[in-house]
Amino acid sequence: MAALLTLVLLAAVIAVIGAPLLSRRRPLVAEGRDGARRADLQSAREAKYREIRDAELDYRTGKLSREDYEAVDSALRAEALRILDALQAIEGESEQSDYEPPEAEKPAA
């Protein structure tokens, strides 16, 4: 009984861990070229948005003076825009590389 259960378990384990190697489908990869950089920028963007909201909350709850808030806020927005520019640059490159030329434009084999 124990031997049978062990064999069943072994077969199940081989099926689970072997499936990606045997599959003909290309594994689903969320991170393509520049994916890691994009994910990192997206995290930085979310953190920056949160920081902008936090600064606003700090100001409106009296922890920041108006002058300090304006200085901090404009600095944060500039940083956020830099992140967004970097993200858009990656997006642009990605779209170019993903460009599939129509059949007519493909060189003859």
The nearer residue to another protein, 23 or 103, going by C-beta atoms, is: 23
Residue 64 CA: distances (Å) to CA of 12, 67, 80, 105? 60, 8, 20, 59
Binding-residue pattern over the window 53 to 92 for another protein, x denoting contact by CB under 8 A = xxxxxxxxxxxxx--x--xx----x--xx--x--xx-xx-
Residue 11 CA: distances (Å) to CA of 4, 8, 23, 33, 104? 11, 5, 17, 35, 49
Binding site for another protein (CB under 8 A): 1-3, 5-6, 9-10, 12-13, 16-21, 23, 27, 29-31, 35-36, 38-40, 42-65, 68, 71-72, 77, 80-81, 84, 87-88, 90-91
